[in-house]
Amino acid sequence: MRVPPIVVAVLILGASLGHDLVAAQPRVLSDAECQTLRQRLADHARLSDGVRRSVATTAAASPAAPAPSTPAAPASRADAIRARLDQVAKERQVIEDQRLAALVRLDLARAAQLEGQRRLLETEKANLDKELAALPAGGASPAPAAPAPTPAPTPAAPAGSDTDRIRCQDIPGALETAVKIRQRELGAREGQAGAIPLVAFKGQSADQIAQELAAQFGPSPAGQSQVGLLDNDGDGRLDGFVDVPVPDVYRLYRQRSDGSLSVEAFTSPGRSGGYSEVVRRLDEATARQTGRTLTDLLAMRPAGSERVLAESSRFAETRGHLMAGNFAEAAKVEGGVARTVELQNFRGESIRILEMIAPGSTGLIVRQVVATPRLSNQEQWDEIVTQIRPVSFFRTDVEVSAGRETRTAAGALVGTRSSSPPAKFSLER
């Protein structure tokens, strides 16, 4: 017997509402989840006086928490790996249950955060499986090897610190408050979902940093509508930001001690690229040549919901060639492609971005216009036009020009346009 579609819809809605009622009940955090959130809270506290004061206040209102028990040392490395694999399986199941519950409640930000934690556990499991398979038969530990270089130490929270004295049931609320404090300190709108205050990098290798960023960003496509705010020294000043130009690639804009801007890229282990080295150097050179500040560049990045207003059918394909450094392929698009999106930046401002990619007489022309709201119902239009001319496989000539103007909401020019002289440079493969 065929069930009418409306009956199916009512059943699904009823199940969702029932799930929400169950999820609304207080839930006891698992030990693993509690410790993960507690560590993240401690990481934020190391970087912010405001967070430390908030944590101290919350800890003062909490009864003394029992000291964590120290597990007995395993008999061998194989036993330690098996024990950790069992624990990883349990942690993954808890995270997966929470992620599904968040999806049912349409809490996409929470679901994205949990997806990042799940991916980290999967990476850890794969590494442990490889190590266990490489151990000698019988599970005995191999002969001691030369100690591996340890990463730069991050100050650990001392025993009995304020974060350790907060009850597990109070940790999620304390962490949410900490994130809002750091958003406010770094110039973001408090509660802006896509503006993520980053904790200090603990890893030294590019793969380690990529894994840390993946745990803090949501999975694609949600991660591409987020931006990470970096404060290296804990002085409440923005030292850099991280965006996601293509899935699983994290692009770091950082201000160096001499005031110049650098661009670095970190790709999740085992993921394909999609963001070439020549494009990374193009982005770095463009940022320097146009004179944009770190805050200027950050204000042009998405940090919230994105709405596509118009898009050419081949825009995504052409942009993919562009980001991969395949300039000749991108220039083959007939007549050019364009996309206009409306999104929120880290300050919660609603901005519009127009992107156009078109073939030129000798290469490729890329144009970007960012419209940001200003007072008196006006908008600031920032434009960057990049002309890319592949001279050979090994060399690409680039010319970049930037302009800024003020327009009314209807598009009429106000005052005069300011522009900088075109900057010309070459990129070598």
Omega cis (within 30) before 197: no
Does the pTM surpass 0.85? The reply is no
Mean pLDDT of the 196-211 span: 90
Range with lowest mean pLDDT among 25-34, 305-314, 349-358: 25-34
Q: Is residue 205 part of a domain?
A: no
Q: Is residue 314 part of a domain?
A: yes
Question: Residue 182 carries which DSSP code?
Answer: H
Q: Is residue 244 part of a domain?
A: no
Amino acid identity of residue 21, one-letter, is L
- The 3-state DSSP class for residue 109 equals helix
- The 3-state DSSP class for residue 129 equals helix
For residue 178, give the nearest of 40, 64, 304, 60 by alpha carbon: 40
Work out how many domains the chain is built from and give that number: 2
pLDDT computed for residue 72 by the predictor: 44
Q: Is residue 323 part of a domain?
A: yes
Range with lowest mean pLDDT among 60-74, 144-158, 174-188, 246-260: 144-158
- Confidence check: pLDDT of 232 > 90: no
Q: Is residue 144 part of a domain?
A: no
What is the percent of the chain with per-residue pLDDT over 70, rounded to a whole number? 83
For residue 106, give the nearest of 16, 172, 29 by alpha carbon: 16
pLDDT in tens, 41-98: 999 999 999 999 999 999 988 765 454 444 444 457 788 888 888 887 888 887 777 7
pLDDT computed for residue 298 by the predictor: 94
CA atoms within 13 A on the CB side of 91: 23
pLDDT in tens, 334-389: 999 999 999 999 999 999 999 999 999 889 999 999 999 999 899 999 999 999 99
Are 31 and 179 within one domain? yes
* Cα separation, 343 vs 352, whole angstroms: 6
- What b/e string do you get for 50-60 counting C-beta neighbours within 10 Å, with b at 16 or more? bbbebbeebbe
Q: Which domain holds residue 371?
A: 304-428
CA terminus-to-terminus distance, the chain: 65
Q: Is residue 273 part of a domain?
A: no
Domain boundary among 151, 185, 219: 185
- Confidence check: pLDDT of 9 > 90: no
Q: Is residue 126 part of a domain?
A: yes
Q: Is residue 197 part of a domain?
A: no
